[in-house]
Amino acid sequence: MAEPRQHFETFKVKGGQLLDRIREIIEEGNARRVILKKDDRVLLEFPLSVGVGGAAAAVLFAPTLAAVGAIAALVSDVDVIIERRPPPPQELPPAEQTSGENTAQSPGN
C-alpha cells in the first residue's frame, strides 16, 4: 500500500503574531515540520516530535520558540509552511451480511 502524501498548509503571518501562531501549531500536535520563509528564502526550518503537545511542547521547544521570537522581531511578514501528517484512513463500518434472506420484519408479521 502506498504511503499517503504529505499535506502542506501555507499562510502569511505578521511578525508580531508569529510566535503565538507557532505555539498554536506546536500545541495542536499534528504537524511534522514548520518552515518559515521570507521572500522565498528559508529563515528557519524545524521538525516537530510526533504526539507532543501542550505543556511538554513548551518545554521541549523552548529554544526553537526563542529563535522564532528573534525572527519575529526582525521581519514584518513571514510565510509559514506547515507539513502535517496525513489524516488517518477512515474506517468503514463492517459490511452487513447479505445471505440473500430478507431479515426485515413487516408490521403485519
Question: What is the model's pTM?
Answer: 0.67
Q: How far is CA 35 from the centre of its chain?
A: 13
For strand 31-38 and strand 7-14, is the pairing parallel, antiparallel, or unpaired? unpaired
The amino acid that residue 9 corresponds to is: E
Closest by CA position to 33, among listed 7, 15, 13, 56: 7
What would the pLDDT profile of 50-105 be if each residue is shown by its tens digit? 555 556 666 777 888 888 888 888 888 899 999 987 766 776 566 555 555 555 55
pLDDT tens, position by position, 1-41: 455 567 889 999 988 899 889 888 887 777 888 999 998 89
pLDDT of residue 22: 87
